[in-house]
Structure 1
């Protein structure tokens, strides 16, 4: 593509209250777009506590808003415990609005939460819509069980607000895999604005490689951010203790959000098993997955895209609550042969999990189960964005404004 724009700007919003999925997805899209288009600048608004731990390509930057943590029961609390949640939300809302006013984006892409955390971006959406900014809602291919999502959205009239504000809705998956609004009463106007762009392909950097990548064959065990991943890692260690002759060593990534007490406990437990190596976090997970013989994961969206991108045999042990997103994705992927799946209760059986781990590296990769399966999300998004920005340039030239901003 390589079209050059003089001053095109995209603002992205990632509420980031649990895990790393939203920020990593935004970052992947942003990096792909600046590779395709010169003169494009992208700013990501993120609540992730470790947003600064990732590297960002030229013309991609981030604004950190105060962090809010989602607890296991679905409630929220401020990361800074001395600041009231209400005050934290007011600060976030103000920073988001001021950023939008000063950055003056041509496109605003919102990840997953249509109105943001507790409605914090509605004012900004209204402001940008009046300015003629393109407003895009990006949804995972699986949001949650329909009964849970419908109840959540009805309480806050989310469907009506999507209809009011958003120009397009991007679904980050193909329509034949899953429909994020299945079972919901979505108006035809919303359905007509939905673009199933495809899964987001990942790649590795050839400039720098992960210092944590082991030599030889290994099974990678990852729970994403790690906030609720300790049970799976305990189960993997138990499986290796149950069967000391498992042929492949395991590289376990705890995740940056794993509670400190669990991190210490798991590290000590794993130290007794020679085949297991434990690290806390690596910001180049793509390299670790690309180098693995097989992957064991809970099956969040980004890890799933990486498994498909690098064509790795995978075992998914999904989270069951507070959202059923991972369970729905794992069941669907298992149904069509892309991955193997165990429910958490099944993975608690050390002998069963050990047998599954022993067989996993010999499993056919995803591409063998679904021949011709492709991940088209990034080039599709790039094409859509390019068309919009070229149209914007042409409109400005016709109106005599050129490329000068107010």
Structure 2
């Protein structure tokens, strides 16, 4: 691994390492990128490196002061197990390579703070050696969790099986990127662990800088609905349901733009394009847009699965939304979506209640009149990036106790 430019451990700049295992989709990478960009943007003397297993990391731009180190990618199978993205390489060898790259990154970069995304021990325990080493060096270790992990009845035994509960001894702080009114992800654990989280609020998203030569589909020139299943690897059912609604109901008032996502199966995408071609005056499609925030800002409403990043964007751009959460292999999206609907932040369509085209069509018809999220007041709802930047300053201050009041800035 090359040493990140100008970041060989020398000098006095604060160095933040963000670990993102990225076994599936775009969520972990996009969350880590938002956090890294915000930290360096709020603190001039901070440098950040993201260690990521995303196979599409090269398609994303990062703020000045943020670099990325890629580890060999793995993929999640339909049954929840994992495999190397290269079928000719055993998973054990990939994990060993990833562990070695992480170790070299830690030694070269010598971070003052390490933020671990979601998995306390990393993928298959790959960051445990790094946690041991950094803990001995006095590096501040932070576990960053999205607002919802899974059904508590499944999460507790999963963490025990992975050794995650025992690994919590390494962490100085636990941040939850959300608000407790939506969910308390560690509530099912013993009080010593359940009471640890600092609730930062959700991560407010900003518009990316407009890329020269950027073009957008003609459908976006007028009011439209954006349909996005995130990375697309598990979004076929959502896309099929929306297309079926437009096929069945020619009176849906707004056209739709479907962003398939880079991980949607190629054969499935071809089938969808054939269907869309027959109703092209009312629905269009693209494969992927690394600046999808620009489309979200323009859209009259959004139809999505309810993943963490998309939910942050719906809140940030104050968009009316229909959420169609997946329920396997985790209930994360369903838990988030149902809680959001209870607060009045979005509307939810659960597939278990039926996937009739007329049901989706009715929701699409009603979407323009739906209340936007801003009609609901939730204290600290989008304070996440500000709180995170403040916590980094607090953790690296000469007298960290002088900043203890920053904990109280977290959401109640």
> Alpha-carbon deviation of 1:6?
4.0
What CA deviation, in whole Å up to 9, does each residue of 1:100-133 have, x standing for no partner? 1111000000000110011110111001100100
Among 257, 265, 285, the residue aligned to 1:278: 285
1:250-286 deviation per Cα after TM superposition (whole angstroms, max 9, x unaligned): 0100001111111111112111112111000000121
Question: Which residue number corresponds to residue 299 of structure 2?
Answer: 292
Query: What is aligned with 2:184?
Result: 179
Q: 1:87 aligns with which of 86, 90, 93?
A: 93
8 Å CA contact 2:201–2:380 kept in 1: the answer is no
- Stretches of structure 2 lacking an aligned partner (at least 5 in a row): 1-10, 402-412
Aligned pair count reads 388
Partner of 2:203: 200
- Map 1:228-239 onto structure 2 (within 5 A): 228-239=234-245
The answer to whether structure 1 residue 145 and structure 2 residue 151 are counterparts is yes
* Deviates further, 339-348 or 36-45: 339-348
What are the ranges of 5 or more consecutive residues in structure 1 without an aligned counterpart? 395-406
What is the aligned counterpart of 1:70 among 76, 80, 85? 76
- Of 293-302 and 379-388, more deviation after overlay is shown by 379-388
Deviation of the 1:362 alpha carbon: 1.1
1:393 and 1:300 map into 2 onto residues whose CA distance is 34
Matched, 1:56 2:62: yes
Aligned partner of 2:404 in structure 1 is none
Residue 191 of structure 1 deviates from its aligned partner by: 4.0
What is aligned with 1:125? 131
Equivalent position SS for 2:397? helix
| 3-state SS of paired residue (2:49) | strand
- In the alignment, which residue of structure 1 is the partner of 2:52? 46
1 CA distance for matches of 2:210 and 2:334?
36
Does the 8 A contact of 2:119 with 2:164 survive in 1?
no
Instruction: Please state if 1:362 is matched with 2:366.
Output: no
Q: How much does 1:91 deviate?
A: 0.4
Q: CA deviation at 1:388?
A: 2.2
Partners of 2:110 and 2:321 lie apart in 1 by: 43
Check if 1:252 corresponds to 2:258. yes
Question: Partners in 2 of 1:245 and 1:278 — Cα distance?
Answer: 19
Q: 2:215 aligns with which of 196, 211, 214?
A: 211
**Maintained 8 Å contact 2:121/2:162:** no
Contact in 2 for aligned 1:232/1:347 (Cα 8 Å): no
Which of 147, 172, 189 is 1:167 aligned to?
Answer: 172
Per-residue CA deviations over 1:377-402 (Å, capped at 9, x if unaligned) read 000111111122232799xxxxxxxx
Q: Kindly tell me: are residues 114 and 372 of structure 1, through their superposed partners in 2, closer, same or farther at Cα, counting changes over 3 Å?
A: closer
Aligned alpha-carbon RMSD (Å): 1.9
What SS class does the counterpart of residue 198 from structure 2 fall into? strand
What's the counterpart of residue 345 of structure 2?
338
Q: For residues 347-368 of structure 1, what are the alpha-carbon distances to aligned partners after superposition, in whole Å with 9 as ceiling and x for unaligned?
A: 6211111111011111010111
Residue 334 of structure 2 is aligned to residue 327 of structure 1: yes
Deviation string 1:179-234 (CA, Å, 9 cap, x unpaired) is 0112x22341x345321111110111354485336211110000011001011101
| Separation of aligned partners in 2, 1:367 and 1:102 | 45
C-alpha distance in 1, partners of 2:40/2:186?
A: 30
Assess, with a 3 A threshold, how the Cα gap between structure 1 residues 374 and 187 changes in structure 2: closer, same or farther: closer
Kept after mapping to 2: 8 A contact 1:43/1:61: yes
- The answer as to whether partners of 1:145 and 1:325 remain within 8 angstroms in 2 is yes
Match of 2:410 in 1: none
How far apart, CA to CA, are the structure 1 residues paired with 2:378 and 2:32? 28
- Cα 1:283–1:166 change in 2 (3 A) is same
Superposed, 1:100-111 pairs within 5 Å as 100-111=106-117
Aligned equivalents of 2:296 and 2:388: distance in 1?
A: 24
Q: Distance in 1 between matches of 2:134 and 2:399?
A: 15
Three-state SS of the structure 1 residue aligned to 2:142 is strand
